[in-house]
Amino acid sequence: MDLFHGAEFLEDEHIRELSMFLRNLLHINLSGCYKLTDISFFALIMNCPLLNEDNNGGNIP
């Protein structure tokens, strides 16, 4: 999903909320989303079990 590429307004709470509805997400590009912290990535890992790649540092374990 490249919808959020460069979306500087995104914060951890936005990603946490969205991740609850994106359980079938396979890929997400969050490059340029500078306000995100590890909290966002933890939420994605916990709530999106099919996610196997991001564009902010490589593969998600």
Give the DSSP letter string of 9-39.
T--HHHHHHHHTT-TT--EE--TT-TT--HH
The number of folded domains in the chain is: 1
For residue 3, being part of any structural domain is answered with no
- Taking every pair of Cα atoms in the chain, the longest distance, rounded to a whole number of angstroms, is 27
* Containing structural domain, residue 50: 12-54
Spatial distance between the Cα atoms of 11 and 36, rounded to a whole number of angstroms: 5
Whether 8 shows a pLDDT value over 60: the answer reads yes
61 in a domain, yes or no?
Answer: no
Domain assignment present for residue 5? The answer is: no
pTM: 0.74
pLDDT above 90 coverage of the chain, percent: 54
- Quote the pLDDT of residue 29: 85
Give per-residue pLDDT as tens, 31-52. 888 899 999 999 999 999 999 8
Any domain includes 49 = yes
Residue type, 54: D
* Residues forming beta bridges with residue 59, ordered by sequence position: 53
In percent, how much of the chain has pLDDT > 70?
75
Mean pLDDT of all residues belonging to the chain: 83
* Domain membership flag for residue 2: no
